[in-house]
Amino acid sequence: MLLDIYQVDAFASRPFAGNPAAVCPLEAWPEDALLQAIAEENNLSETAFFVGSGDHYQLRWFTPRVEVDLCGHATLASAWVLFNELGVDAEVLHFATRSGELRVRREGEMLALDFPAKSPRPCSPPANLLPALGLEQAEVFLTDDYIVVVEDEAQVAALNPDFSALRGLPARGVAVTARSERFDFVSRWFGPDTGIFEDPVTGSAHTSLTPLWVERLGRNPLRAEQGGARKGQLHCELLGERVIISGQAVLYLKGRIHLPD
């Protein structure tokens, strides 16, 4: 059995930037164990699988360890493959996912993801959270992730987390963010419990980061950058209970997976 596979650098305008995602179009769903095995073999932060036709698809995302509820960059990569490699002639793609219906629209060279917004709420951090990040103090909020707000972007760039100490937190991962002089805000995201020590660009985290920074900065839309050594750029706009997260993508490779019958 042969499966097509594409690797796309999402939230980037050139290869070797942004966040790489594998994308596998399917005609029907195989066993979940096979999907997880493919994601583990790919060893990327996310592998996306979709089934459907026209402009409606079922979409699922897997890290090397687990299936996740929401992934922005692999959704962007999937839409890029549908538009640019599979020749889908639609202005908007509709994806049925574990997080409800997600939509992706073409906007020139950009693809715009329409995701549900999430409202960060202040919280008391677990005792090991700030020490694991090498921080003495910071504001901490909670949605799916802990969101740690620091004073300047130099602190974000200098982070060298203790990943063993970040394991077992009662959240998906940790986003550390600050106001930026070059963009509106910057961030980095860490999720060792999902099998991802650091994700270069986490679209789903911006469903929480965007409402937080729109309120703090008093402007909308916003420009954002995420990443440590590898970075990507996002355009974020809060529209009521939705966040529009836009970015570019570029193909890195395409091939075939060989599986036993």
For residue range 116-148, what is the model confidence (pLDDT) as tens digits? 999 999 999 999 999 999 999 999 999 999 999
Residue 211 in tokens: 């409402």
Same domain, 7 and 112: yes
Q: Residue 64's CB: how many other CB atoms inside 10 A?
A: 18
- Whether residue 133 is found in the same domain as residue 231: yes
What is the rounded end-to-end Cα distance, in angstroms, of the chain?
Answer: 5
pLDDT of residue 250: 98
- Average pLDDT, integer, range 41-63: 96
- Which CATH number belongs to the domain containing residue 112 in this structure? 3.10.310.10
Active site residues: 46
Residue 228 lies in a domain: yes
- Does 25 share its domain with 128? no
Reply yes or no on whether the pLDDT at 172 is more than 80: yes
Give yes or no for residue 244 having a pLDDT over 80.
Answer: yes
Same domain, 107 and 173: no
Contacts of 61 (CB under 8 A, 6+ apart): 46, 47, 48, 49, 67, 68, 70, 71, 74, 75
Contacts of 104 (CB under 8 A, 6+ apart): 75, 76, 79, 92, 93, 95, 111, 112, 113, 114
